[in-house]
């Protein structure tokens, strides 16, 4: 008994001593982190002060701070960014689809900005402005040589304020000057929906701003008024995402109430959430094909991933962008904001579609090659195998048609754009988008227009050959192979006239959709392009083959990969 009584105080002392040591270590660790934080802030403040006082030239303080902030955030992820007060309007537009302005898109054309898109029913449209108009003055001040964002800033402003805009129109002798009243511009998330065959409906969803779910529901109701509709194509190609909650609302139009659509997990518990379909769906049975590409990101990937994981529809197209990070904004003073990655999102199978490697993406930012060692396997509700690692892999992979070099150059150098301006000035009206065709005779007129512009280009093959010749000269091999290089150059040199004929089909399609857009706005342009779309055609084929559609969802179909021709 005495022995046991003596052991208890010793044991208690040991435990007490251990807790004290642990507490000291924790405190020291905490103090160490706090000390590093304070030390580095003090170093930065001191360094900045020394630069301002002693640098040989006067320094731009705002520029220095902005650069340091941007470079610091680059060490984290591509989506944690500083949003200065001057960019808050752009950020608001991205998340809400709303801004104060005249209702148009602009892009650079030489020394001026040109209207590249008119939104139907908004001030620019009501004033009679047209796609292709050059903006030469805003508020009485010339826009010549002005940066595009500066022109945009002048056009934007508080709703119900006036702005005087002067444009130069192709074929018009005098400039057109109008006083426009800015309005609150709300861009639709669903710019077009309609039937693409006797049995299949089509919905284009361009972004996830406020009320996207309601717009998709309205579109589906509109299509279901056609009693023959037996399948739906939901087009998310090029959709950059937006509001997470709208991805849930869009999914809920098609999936049962109570099903999990997405969950988020972050370091802070406040960002741990599970989002379920909370409304009664409109239709849980109609076959659905979701179209995606490398530009489908964030909220678009949530919808595509939920459809795939819940076996609610098939995914057709290319692997998606691979953005599974959730951002929130935090005020950082003086009307500036920090958009910070606060969580990752996980779709119903439990996988995160965030690309695991930021450093090996494609040129457009989408997912590059993912090593097998970084990929994990998951299962859909029906037991189909799906994988993480970056983006949503489609059930049917089909790549879009690749355009020829001459077509890309004609588009990039505004030749097609300028020709559609010419055509628009010469034709008061055209047939409906489903009936209008740009004829072969009209294409000959386009060729004459191209010749009048002294247009020329280089193919990628010619550019590669020039680089090879330069390298051969540097390494002193060229002189020994000059004759071979000359013969190769002759064989590989492009022939403009021949290329204009060889690639007539794809060039005509771009011209036709551009012309239709002049008369029937964005909706008409989309409608005009659908008959040539290989991914849409594939979706129609699968939706109208019930056995194939069912076999894919049950995991019995052979994985299909196709290349657009």
Catalytic residues: 298, 309, 323
Which H/E stretch holds residue 124?
A: helix 123-126
Q: How far apart are CA 341 and CA 436, in angstroms?
A: 47
Beta carbons within 10 angstroms of residue 427's beta carbon: 12
DSSP string across 53-115: HH-SS---HHHHHHHHHHHHHHTT-TT-EEE-GGGHHHHHHHHHSEEEE-SEEEEEETTEEEE
Q: How far apart are CA 516 and CA 438, in angstroms?
A: 10
Q: How far apart are CA 177 and CA 20, in angstroms?
A: 80
Using DSSP, state whether 231 is helix, strand or coil. Answer: strand
Q: Which residues contact 234 (CB under 8 A, 6 or more apart)?
A: 203, 205, 216, 288, 289, 290, 291, 303, 313
Distances (CA, A) of 272 to 276, 372, 388, 390: 13, 29, 20, 21
Q: How far apart are CA 233 and CA 291, in angstroms?
A: 7
The residue whose two tokens read 């002048």 is 154
Q: How far is CA 254 from the centre of its chain?
A: 24
């Amino acid at each position: 008994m005495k022995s046991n009584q003596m052991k208890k105080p010793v044991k208690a002392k040991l435990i007490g001593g251990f807790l004290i040591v642990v507490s000291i270590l924790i405190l020291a660790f905490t103090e160490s982190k706090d000390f590093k934080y304070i030390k580095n802030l003090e170093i930065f403040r001191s360094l900045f002060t020394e630069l301002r006082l002693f640098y040989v030239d006067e320094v731009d303080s705002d520029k220095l701070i902005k650069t340091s902030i941007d470079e610091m955030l680059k060490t984290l992820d591509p989506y944690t960014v500083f949003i200065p007060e001057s960019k808050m309007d752009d950020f608001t537009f991205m998340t809400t689809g709303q801004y104060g302005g005249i209702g148009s898109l602009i892009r650079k054309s030489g020394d001026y900005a040109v209207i590249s898109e008119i939104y139907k029913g908004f001030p620019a449209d009501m004033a009679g402005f047209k796609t292709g108009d050059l903006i030469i003055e805003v508020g009485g001040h010339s826009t010549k040589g002005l940066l595009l964002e500066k022109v945009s800033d002048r056009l934007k402003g508080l709703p119900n304020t006036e702005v005087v805009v002067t444009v130069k129109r192709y074929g018009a002798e005098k400039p057109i000057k109008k006083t426009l009243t800015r309005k609150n511009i709300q861009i639709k998330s669903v710019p077009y929906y309609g039937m693409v065959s006797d049995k299949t409906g089509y919905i284009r969803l361009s972004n996830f701003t406020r009320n996207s779910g309601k717009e998709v529901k309205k579109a589906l109701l509109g299509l279901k008024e056609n009693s023959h509709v037996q399948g739906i194509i939901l087009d998310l190609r090029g959709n950059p995402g937006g509001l997470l909650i709208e991805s849930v609302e869009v999914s809920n139009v098609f999936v049962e109430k109570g099903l999990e659509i997405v969950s988020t997990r972050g370091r802070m518990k406040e960002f741990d959430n599970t989002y379920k379909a909370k409304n009664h769906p409109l239709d849980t049975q109609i076959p659905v094909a979701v179209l995606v590409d490398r530009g489908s990101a964030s909220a678009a990937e949530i919808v595509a991933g939920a459809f795939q994981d819940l076996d609610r529809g098939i995914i057709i197209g290319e692997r998606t962008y691979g953005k599974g990070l959730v951002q929130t904004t935090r005020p950082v003073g003086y009307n500036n904001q920090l958009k910070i990655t606060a969580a990752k999102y996980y779709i119903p199978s439990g996988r995160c579609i965030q690309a695991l490697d930021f450093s090996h993406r494609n040129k457009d930012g989408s997912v590059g090659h993912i090593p097998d060692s970084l990929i994990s396997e998951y299962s859909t509700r029906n037991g189909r195998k799906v994988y993480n690692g970056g983006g949503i892999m489609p059930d049917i992979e089909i790549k879009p048609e690749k355009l020829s070099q001459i077509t890309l150059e004609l588009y990039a150098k505004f030749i097609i754009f300028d020709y559609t301006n010419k055509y628009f000035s010469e034709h008061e009206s055209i047939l409906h988008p489903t009936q209008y065709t740009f004829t072969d005779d009209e294409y000959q007129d386009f060729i004459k227009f191209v010749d009048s512009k002294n247009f020329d280009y280089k193919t990628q093959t010619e550019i590669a050959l020039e680089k090879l010749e330069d390298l051969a000269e540097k390494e002193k091999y060229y002189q020994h192979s000059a004759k071979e290089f000359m013969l190769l150059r002759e064989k590989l040199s492009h022939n403009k006239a021949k290329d204009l004929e060889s690639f007539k089909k794809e060039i005509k399609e771009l011209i036709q959709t551009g012309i239709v857009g002049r008369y029937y706005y964005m909706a008409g342009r989309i409608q005009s392009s659908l008959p040539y779309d290989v991914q849409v055609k594939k979706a129609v084929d699968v939706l109208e083959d019930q056995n194939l559609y069912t076999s894919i969802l049950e995991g019995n179909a052979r994985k299909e990969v196709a290349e657009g021709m």
